[in-house]
Amino acid sequence: MWRASSMSADLGIGLALRAVNERVQQAVARRPQDLPAIQPRLVAVSKTKPVEMVIEAYNHGQRTFGENYVQELLEKASNPKILSSCPDIKWHFIGHLQKQNVNKLMAVPNLSVLETVSSVKLAERVNSSWQKKGSPERLKVMVQVNTSGEDSKHGLPPSEMIALVEHLNAKCPSLEFVGLMTIGRFGHDLSQGPNPDFQMLWSLREELCEKLQVPAGQVELSMGMSSDFQHAIEVGSTNIRVGTTIFGERDYSKKPILNDTTTELKAPVGATQEH
């Protein structure tokens, strides 16, 4: 198996990005014709990486970046070098968002998508905060679903997904629901068949679209990371979150522990999860 994550540091960010995008197109070509013909969005996950790496990736054509921690995202997105060198940058927040950090996240320049709404209370807090910000555009949000049922994962149970989406659409006028997101169980053996967590998110979208009477192409699926993004695309992902394959392995020993604890996992940072 091609170990892109360990090769990216040797290749350089530009070549690594090109290699990832080529693999994305290969996966798109293998995708069944009955899936919505949506070009997958590549979210380059830059957590723990310096602003210089973000700028380098931007200079090679990457526009969408993802972060897991509110404080790190705020500092990075507000950095004068980023603001001056990357005018078209778009930030996705992909970590667990605690309610006390909502206002801080809403202050992030060029915040494009919040991928991890997982409760009515959080949705209402985000809606209120974004409303107070006075932005002329609604904030795009995804609903995070815990498809694997693991205690180490955040996200709401699949059975509660439709109710939350309906609440977003009816009661949160400053937010725009755009899709569903999952992390899924790590290390799935594809020789045993497609990843059941990805299949579940796809099925949940079908159920949701039937309920809301909207086409599947209007509801994104955010699933797939460095280790499995090609498979995720093949089974319907429209938004992949890839970090180590682009930027190289992370050295958590050099990263200070952040107070906001906005990691996607409840387990210690970096224990099992890699984008």
CATH of residue 136's domain is: 3.20.20.10
pTM value?
0.89
Q: Which residues contact 129 (CB under 8 A, 6 or more apart)?
A: 102, 103, 106
Question: Is 50 exceeded by the pLDDT of residue 268?
Answer: no
What is the reported pLDDT for 10? 47
Residue 260 within any structural domain of the chain? no
C-alpha torsion 28→265→173→106, nearest 10: -100
Residue 63 within any structural domain of the chain? yes
What is the reported pLDDT for 152? 81
Beta strands 41-45 and 64-67, pairing class: parallel
Residue 234 within any structural domain of the chain? yes
Domain that holds residue 53: 13-32+39-242
Q: Minimum mean pLDDT among 115-119, 157-161, 165-169, 180-184: which range?
A: 180-184
**Mean of pLDDT values over 108-127:** 98
Q: Look over the chain and give the mean of its residue pLDDT values, rounded to a whole number.
A: 88
Residue 90 burial (10 A CB sphere; 0-12, 13-18, 19+)? middle
Beta strands 175-181 and 139-144, pairing class: parallel
Residue 249 within any structural domain of the chain? no
**Mean of pLDDT values over 173-187:** 91
Helices 120-133 and 161-171 pack at an angle, to 10 degrees, of 30
At 188, list the tokens: 């799935």
Alpha-carbon 4 to chain mean position: 20
Residue 153 within any structural domain of the chain? yes
Question: Which tens digit of pLDDT belongs to each residue from 208-244?
Answer: 999 999 999 999 999 999 989 999 999 999 999 999 9
How far is it, in rounded angstroms, from Cα 7 to Cα 172? 44
What is the reported pLDDT for 11? 62
- How many Å is the Cα radius of gyration of the chain? 18
Residue 262 within any structural domain of the chain? no
What is the reported pLDDT for 149? 80
- DSSP code of 65? E
Number of folded domains in the chain? 1
- Please answer whether residues 59 and 87 qualify as being in contact, where contact means their C-beta atoms are separated by less than 8 angstroms: no
Q: Which residues contact 125 (CB under 8 A, 6 or more apart)?
A: 99, 102
Instruction: Report the amino acid identity of residue 129.
Output: S
Question: Which tens digit of pLDDT belongs to each residue from 84-111?
Answer: 999 999 999 999 999 999 999 999 999 9
Question: Which tens digit of pLDDT belongs to each residue from 41-79?
Answer: 999 999 999 999 999 999 999 999 999 999 999 999 999
Residue 264 within any structural domain of the chain? no
pLDDT confidence band for 256 (50 / 70 / 90): very low
What is the reported pLDDT for 264? 38
How far is it, in rounded angstroms, from Cα 226 to Cα 4? 8
How far is it, in rounded angstroms, from Cα 157 to Cα 246? 31
Instruction: Report the amino acid identity of residue 79.
Output: N
Residue 58 within any structural domain of the chain? yes
